[in-house]
Amino acid sequence: MKTMRFAVACLLSIAVATSAPAFAHAFLEHASPAVGSTVHESPASVRLSFSEALEPAFSRAHVEDATGKVVDAGDGHVEAADRTIVAVDVPPLAPGTYRVRWRVVSIDTHVTEGDYTFTIAK
Amino acid sequence: MRFTLLSRAALVALSSIAPAVAHGHGFAGKRFFPATLATEDPFVADELALPTIFWQKMPGEGDGAGTRETHVSAEFAKRITENLGVGIGTTYKIVRPDAGETQRGFDNLEVHFKYAFYRNDAHEAIVSAGIDWDMGGTGARRVGAESFSTITPAVFFGKGLGELPDDVKWLRPLAITGQVGVGFPTRSSTTIASDDGETASRALAQRSALLGSPELRHGGHTQGTSNGDGDVERHPHTLDWAFSIQYSLPYLQSFVQDVGLTAPFNRMIPVVEFAMSTALDRGASGTTGTVNPGIIWAGQNIQWAIEAVIPVNRRSGDSVGVLAQLHFFLDDLFPQTLGRPLIR
């Protein structure tokens, strides 16, 4: 019984400790255009929404065409109004498959990175 | 080797002037590997598993009574450097025989060291090596804790399949992790002395049943014989091997195809674990182990998991058990204190 009480006390202590705001890795939650999607018009920008606030100085995204050439406007940035969003403008794009690459640093300095493709249909 | 040392020195120097960013627990590139329950994962991390709860009905030896076992475990792991970590764990066991008195007590303490010596982010791969020390004599004999230690050096690995071509893109969320090690008991045999040979045999049978638990993979191959002084329990070397196959729905959602999953499914990782032990010598033979299908849910700061524990043969058990765990990512919960390496 003592052991059980000790275990419960430990769990409660941890629950209290973890109820305070905490920071974590930034996971990609949504993207526009969506991951793996096919769209029928060239988007004006690519927007990535993450689970955590990001460090603007170290968080970037860019868009490549099928040959690996960067085709975005080079202005990838964390939005000032919502630091969970990284956006990058793109010029009108021809039909084809494009890859979005991102590397972000959450405010607790953890790095996450990734990439995905979307397709512009003819 | 000299080049490697120089390279490492250069990397250390570079890291000291680079922005203080860190890859956290369980990441190799964009792949997140969850902490698995029966397979030691290859990562060095600051983490706390509390509690891990295991329940299973174990068969008796011969006509002997079986037992119902409940284990409540805790494990704390801490990074010493970015790639070197230490961990300590303990298990409280409740053993309820079908006939007889319930036994309770702590199993032996376990201490382990692990060093991650290879990580390739582009290929979602990691390899580490470690050593586990089951500290003999630190637990209660009445619940099967050994009086001797077992040292198990092992290699751990993880590999994601994110490089698969578009034709099979739905397989990209798959990953495999595994471990292979050899358990070296510090004693080859134990004699259970008794004036009453029947009592000694019964004690040995009871201990064999206790040690048959798939969680106690080192002890699952106890081999008993009798001599004039009592019964002899042999402790073979064991090949301990385990692997997990996992399908990451977060990976699917973030990197392959947004299929519209919402919480809680967008953080779930279906997994099947295989945890095995093969006796190598000292009169013991065969393999014991379990197959554990289950679900892991990995959140921002914690993960929970539940698995069925299915014995692969009668020596490993005769009923399906349950294994569940609550796991805390200390590097995310306490990034500036408890969740950072001791030496940076």
Q: Spell out the residues 6+ positions from residue A79 whose beta carbon is closer than 8 angstroms to its own.
A: A85, A86, A87
Say what the pTM is.
Answer: 0.84
Residue A19 predicted with pLDDT over 60: no
Does any CB of chain B come closer than 8 Å to the CB of residue A27?
yes
Confidence band of B225 (pLDDT split at 50, 70, 90):
low
Shortest distance between the Cα of A74 and any Cα of chain B, in A, equals 22
Residue B214 predicted with pLDDT over 70: no
Mean predicted lDDT score pLDDT of chain A? 86
Quote the ipTM score: 0.84
Q: Which of B 217-256 lie inside 8 A of A, CB atoms? A: 250, 253-256
pLDDT of residue B65: 75
pLDDT of residue B66: 84
Q: Which residues of B touch A22 (CB under 8 A)?
A: 300-301, 332-333
Residue A45 predicted with pLDDT over 70: yes
Does any CB of chain A come closer than 8 Å to the CB of residue B23?
yes
Residue B272, beta-bridge partner list: B245, B293
Residue B2 predicted with pLDDT over 50: no
pLDDT digits (tens, 9 = 90+) for B147-161: 999 999 999 999 999
Q: Cβ separation of A7 and B72 shorter than 8 Å?
A: yes
pLDDT of residue A109: 80
pLDDT digits (tens, 9 = 90+) for B78-114: 999 999 999 999 999 999 998 889 999 999 999 999 9
Confidence band of B17 (pLDDT split at 50, 70, 90):
very low
Sign of the dihedral through C-alpha B317, B318, B320, B322: negative
Q: Spell out the residues 6+ positions from residue B154 whose beta carbon is closer than 8 angstroms to its own.
A: B40, B129, B130, B131, B132, B179, B180, B181, B182, B240
| B191 vs B72: which has the higher pLDDT | B72
**Burial of B173 (C-beta count, 10 Å sphere; 0-12/13-18/19+):** buried
